[in-house]
Amino acid sequence: MIHLTIQGIEVEVAEGTTVLEAARKAGIRIPTLCYHPDLKPFGSCGLCVCKQEGSSKIIRACSTPAAEGMRIITHDQDLYEVRRTILELTMSTHPSSCLMCTKNNQCELQKLAIEYGVREQPFEVRLAEDKKDRSTGAVVLDPEKCIKCGRCVQVCQGLQGVYALEFIGRGDKTTMSPAASLPLGSSPCIKCGQCITHCPVGAIYEQDQTNDLMKAIADPDKVVAVQIAPAVRVAIGEEFGMKPGEISTGKLYTALRRLGIDYVFDTNFGADLTIMEEGYELLARIKNGGVMPQITSCCPGWVDYVEEYYPELLDNLSSAKSPMMMQGDITKT
C-alpha cells in the first residue's frame, strides 16, 4: 500500500493506483475530458493537471502513478486558471450550437464550461471544415465538434480491435478520421456504437430517425409497430431519472401506445425464435457432419466483424437471422 496526501487529506491506496484514482477515493473531484475508466489513461486534454509540493513540475493526475509520501495539490488559483484556459482553447475549435446538438445537457465539455464560467471566447475560433460523414447509415461523424480527446480511437482500436478510427496528421493539424481518411462506410467499422458511447461531446452520434417515426405515426394509411430490444427496458429508465438497472417495461409499453404506436412487440420473442432456429441448425450439422463449431449469428455487428476480420470463420456462423430481423418478419406477415 502507498500513503500520500491529496489536498490535505491522507489517502492509502494500492501500488499502481494513479493520482486521479487516489483523489477520487478521497472524495476529491479532479476535472477530466479524455479520461474514461474503460480506457488506458491518454493524458491528451490536460484538464487533470495537479501540483506536487516541493516540485515545480505540473503532473497529469490521470497518468501519474501515486508514490509514497506524495503531497498533491489539486485545486488552487493557478490550476483553476490553467484549466479555464484549456477549456477556452478547446472551445475555440468547437462550435457553440449546443441547442441543436444531440449531447445538449449531457455534454461533458458543456458541463465543464459552465463549472469554470466560460462565457466569452478570448481566442480566435477555428472550426474544422470537413462535412458530416453519414456513409454508414447508422453512425454519424461530425468533425467540426471533435475535441481530439482520443476516446473514440482508443475504444475502437484497443477495446474493440476494429481500427476503423485513427488520428491523422500532427500537431495542430491532427484530426480524428476513419482509417486512411476513407468515408466511415468504407472503413472496417462494424457499427458497434462504442465510439458513440465514449465520445464526451457530440462528435459521433447515432443517426436520428425520430422525425421519420413521427411522420409514420401521423400517416393514417400506415400501421406502425415497435419492437423493444431486451436492454432497452432497463437502459431507458436512466434517461428519465430512474435508478440504473430499474426495469421499466410497463411504462415503456404505455408510453409507446400513448405516442400513437399501433402494436408493441418484444424482441425477446425473436430471441426465442433464434434459439430454436440455431438449435435445429446445430442438430442438422451434428447429424450431417457440417462445419463445427457453430457460432451464433444473432448480432449483426458481430457478423460484420467476422466478415471483416475472420472471413475463414464465415462457414461456422449460423445461417439464422438476428432476433430483430426475425421479429420484423413475423410482425409483417
Q: Are 202 and 102 in contact (CB under 8 A)?
A: yes
Q: Which of 206, 224, 241 is the endpoint of a domain?
A: 206
* Alpha-carbon dihedral sign for residues 316, 270, 237, 200: positive
DSSP 91-130: HTTS---GGGSTTTTT-HHHHHHHHTT--S--S------P
Same domain, residue pair 152 and 218: no
Residue 199 to residue 145: CA distance in whole angstroms: 10
Q: Are 192 and 227 in the same domain?
A: no
Q: Do 65 and 9 have their domain in common?
A: yes
Domain count, the chain: 4
Any domain includes 231: yes
Whether residue 100 is contained in a domain is answered as no
Give the domain extent around 224: 210-264
H-helix segments, 102-207: 108-115, 151-154, 194-198
Q: Contact at 8 Å (CB) between 266 and 228?
A: yes
- 3-state DSSP of 53-96: CCCCCEEECCCCECCCCCEEECCCHHHHHHHHHHHHHHHCCCCC
Q: Are residues 177 and 242 in the same domain?
A: no
Q: How distant, in Å, are the alpha carbons of 231, 274, 294, 299, 307 from that of 285?
A: 31, 16, 8, 21, 21
Residues 173, 157 share a domain? yes
Residues 61, 13 share a domain: yes
Of 243, 264, 285, the last residue of a domain is 264
Do 190 and 138 lie in one domain? The reply is yes
Residues in the chain: 333
The per-residue b/e assignment along 290-302, b for 16 or more CB within 10 angstroms, e otherwise, is: eeeebbebbebbb
Question: Domain holding 306: CATH number?
Answer: 3.40.950.10
Q: How far is CA 103 from CA 100, 145, 242, 254, 306, in A?
A: 9, 11, 19, 26, 32
> Do 132 and 199 belong to one domain?
yes
Predicted pLDDT at 257: 96
The three cell numbers of residue 119 are 462565457
Q: Are 78 and 49 in contact (CB under 8 A)?
A: no
278 lies in some domain: yes
Query: What local confidence, expressed as pLDDT, does residue 182 receive?
Result: 92
For position 170, what pLDDT does the model report? 85
Same domain flag for 255 and 276? no
In this structure, the answer to whether residues 47 and 10 fall within a common structural domain is yes
- Number of H helices and number of E strands within the chain? 11, 11
In a domain, 93, yes or no: no
Whether 83 is covered by a domain: the verdict is no
Digitized pLDDT (tens) for each residue of the chain, 333 residues in all:
999 999 999 999 999 999 999 999 999 999 999 999 999 998 899 999 999 998 888 999 999 999 999 999 999 999 999 999 999 999 999 999 999 999 999 999 999 999 999 999 999 999 988 899 999 999 999 999 999 999 999 999 999 999 999 999 888 788 899 988 999 999 999 999 999 999 999 999 999 999 999 999 999 999 999 999 988 988 999 889 999 989 999 999 999 999 999 999 999 999 999 999 999 999 999 999 999 999 999 999 999 999 999 999 999 999 999 999 999 999 999
323-332 helix and 267-288 helix, angle to the nearest 10 degrees? 110
Cis peptide leading into residue 293 (ω within 30°): yes
pLDDT at residue 6 in the model: 97
CATH of the domain at 169: 3.30.70.20
**DSSP three-state, residue 265:** strand
What's the one-letter identity of residue 106? Q
pLDDT of residue 172: 79
Last residue of a domain, one of 233, 249, 264: 264
Q: How much is the pLDDT for 108?
A: 97
For residue 98, tell me if it sits in a domain: no
What is the pTM for the complete model shown?
0.89
CA angle 95–99–103, rounded 5-degree value: 80
Residues 277 and 231 in one domain: no
Residues 300 and 328 in one domain: yes
Would residue 164 count as lying in a domain?
Answer: yes
